[in-house]
Amino acid sequence: MRLGAFECVEPLPALRSPHALVMLRPWIDAGSVGALALLEIEQHFGVTELCRVARPGSFYDFTRYRPTAYFREGQRELSVPNTVINLVRREQPPDLVTIKMLEPHMFAEVFIDSVLALLGKLGIVRYFWMGSMYDMVPHTRPLLVSGGAYGSVAREDVRRLDVRPTSYQGPSTLTFQIVQRAPLMGIDSMWCVVHLPQYVQVEEDYVGKVRLMEILNTLYGVPIDADDVERAREQTATVDAAVAEDPQLTAALPHIEARYEAQVERAEGATTPLSPELERLLHELADDEDEQGPFSGPQSR
């Protein structure tokens, strides 16, 4: 069945007050936190594919999102990057619809309209957009989560989850229009972004994943994997050791911690600026680590 840009199973199953859990690659998925969290949910409860973009080349530049060749049962196959929508059924409602969204390079308005039409067709009652970003926060403190909500129930959830009002201003993604337009269709929407230390950039950030899973555990009872907690401890210990060997970062860390404490104390989540010199130093450290630094490996945090 074709619905806008999506090809869907037919007939679409009847869902029980479904919530859409959404991550966006690559824009707001630092450390693969959102991708890891959705994969955890799907593996725990089981998953059934509902829809995917029928012609992904209509939205995606495949010289930027590369198809991947692989072998299956001795035959060469090609995996094409796409936006995939899956159903996760639990014993008790709400059902969960996971949306692994790939940000479009072109015709974004058509893509957004198609997603909104699909939300309406599935009877989605909440659109929950989750992700992660790098920020001037220390690895020695609990990770902050910023975000917001439209709708009274969603706003109450954001409040009890201790999600801080967002203060970010700058480049964004057009797909955030889905968060803003869904309430016009009677769909509550909320967003949560985990803030990761800018000087610690790894392929899979388990400290960030555990923080996001704590939110999903509170909302939906999704268990937190004990192995992930141990991986997070190991990553943090590795960073502790690396910081101790880096005089510049050792000197900068108390300033980052002081800024963090000031942020936590501010009721509206306003940021305390770092000095230009310190901010430049941290950006330089992050740039160095992207190339060959001590935090560049997938298990280094």
pLDDT in tens, 166-220: 877 888 999 999 999 999 999 999 999 999 999 999 999 999 999 999 999 999 9
Please give the share of the chain, as a percent, with pLDDT higher than 70: 88
Quote the pLDDT of residue 46: 95
Query: Domain residues for 235?
Result: 18-291
Quote the pLDDT of residue 274: 58
Residue 8, in any domain of the structure: no
| pTM across the whole model | 0.87
Residue 6, in any domain of the structure: no
Read off the CATH number of the domain in which 274 is found. Answer: 3.40.50.10900
Residue 300 clears pLDDT 50, i.e. is over it:
no
What is the spatial distance between Cα 25 and Cα 92, in angstroms, rounded to a whole number? 29
Quote the pLDDT of residue 284: 64
pLDDT in tens, 263-282: 888 744 445 555 566 666 66
Quote the pLDDT of residue 286: 54
What is the spatial distance between Cα 161 and Cα 158, in angstroms, rounded to a whole number? 5
Question: Assign residue 125 a region: left if phi > 0, alpha if psi is -120 to 50, beta otherwise?
Answer: alpha
Residue 289 — pLDDT band, cuts 50, 70, 90? very low
Quote the pLDDT of residue 166: 83
Residue 7, in any domain of the structure: no
Quote the pLDDT of residue 266: 73
What's 29's DSSP letter?
B
Domain count, the chain: 1
Residue 263, in any domain of the structure: yes
What is the spatial distance between Cα 38 and Cα 20, in angstroms, rounded to a whole number? 11
Residue 230 clears pLDDT 90, i.e. is over it:
yes
Please give the share of the chain, as a percent, with pLDDT higher than 90: 83
Residue 248 clears pLDDT 70, i.e. is over it:
yes
Residue 67, in any domain of the structure: yes
Residue 299, in any domain of the structure: no
The residue among 24, 44, 42, 43 whose CA lies nearest residue 34 is 24
Residue 27, in any domain of the structure: yes
What is the spatial distance between Cα 174 and Cα 250, in angstroms, rounded to a whole number? 38
pLDDT in tens, 114-153: 999 999 999 999 999 999 999 999 999 999 999 999 999 9
* Residue recorded with tokens 């889905």: 178
Residue 96, in any domain of the structure: yes
What is the spatial distance between Cα 294 and Cα 301, in angstroms, rounded to a whole number? 9
